Amino acid sequence: MAGLPPCAIVLPDADAVAREAAERLLTVAAATARAAICLSGGSTPKRLYGLLAGPDFRARVPWERLHWFFGDERVGDGPEAGSNRRMVEAAFGPDSPVPAGHLHPIPTESGPDAGAAAYEAALRAWYGADRLDPARPLFDLVLLGLGEDGHTASLFPGKPAVAETGRWVVGVPEAGLAPFVPRVSLTLPALGSARALLFLVTGAGKRDPLARLAAGEDLPAGRVQPQGDVAWLLDREAVG
């Protein structure tokens, strides 16, 4: 389709996007004894996370073999921050199928920089090395969203975090879009260290950033270069 990312799949609606993402996650999970999945924040993926824990998929997900990480987090306990951890825990529900120790939230209580350092240490410990090897991706699957300004995770246009190539996780003192709270974000090298990567993009609000990406504008979401396959799952609303 003209004007869309090269590996765009257009689906009828947000539910179809979530279902396609769930099926692809199951395929990733079936291919390995222990899968590391990097979760996107925001509102779009709530539907997917609820689906996975719901009656249609719960019994199909090998929960014991999956570990769930976060691509970014908002700093702050208040509802205005909209913690991604809280969003994920709410979506998985009070009877969450995620075994203890398999959800790896980003610590934010000591601020963005300390949280970034702690999470980078946790990722290195999980990975078992201090350097990312392209032949051995950190994540089996990375899920990402697209902000209306073209950001992804908490890598906002024009902010220093986008250009970070040494660190795996950085503090983001100023968000480029609401909620305007400090963030902790994985960097492009960490997000790109993926066997498979899915962008989940739904709603008319994403037409503009999609068009800007298609026009070749250099936006953070367009800079993610996974080692493995990347697919953009879009609903009709987002395509227009």
Instruction: State in angstroms the smallest separation of the CB of 147 from ligand 6PG.
Output: 4
Residue number, 129 or 177, with CB nearest to ligand 6PG: 177
Nearest residue to ligand 6PG, using CB? 145
Peptide bond connecting 45 to the previous residue in cis, omega within 30 degrees of 0: no
What is the phi/psi pair of residue 188, to 5°? -60, -45
Angstrom distance (rounded) from CA 141 to CA 198: 8
Of 72 and 164, nearer to ligand 6PG (C-beta) is 72
Q: Which residue is associated with the tokens 């032949």?
A: 135
**Do 191 and 228 meet the contact criterion of CB atoms below 8 Å apart?**
no
| Residue 150 is a binding residue for ligand 6PG (CB under 6 A) | no
The answer to whether residue 42 forms part of the interface with ligand 6PG (CB under 6 A) is yes
**Is the separation of the CB atoms in 47 and 14 below 8 Å?**
yes
Interface with ligand 6PG includes 193 (CB under 6 A)? no
Instruction: Tell whether residue 182 is a contact of ligand 6PG (CB under 6 A).
Output: no
For ligand 6PG, the binding residues in 89-148 under the rule CB under 6 A are 145-147
CB 173 within 8 A of CB 235: no
Distance CA 46, CA 41 (A): 8
Q: x/- site string to ligand 6PG, residues 47 to 86, per CB under 6 A?
A: ------------------------xx-----------x--
**Token digits for 20?**
């396609």
Distances (CA, A) of 88 to 70, 113, 207: 10, 22, 26
Stretch that binds ligand 6PG, among 9-17, 28-36, 42-50, 231-239 (CB under 6 A): 42-50
157 in contact with ligand 6PG (CB under 6 A):
no
Q: Which of 8, 44, 98, 112 binds ligand 6PG (CB under 6 A)?
A: 44
Instruction: Give the footprint of ligand 6PG on this chain (CB under 6 A).
Output: 40-44, 71-72, 84, 145-147, 151-154
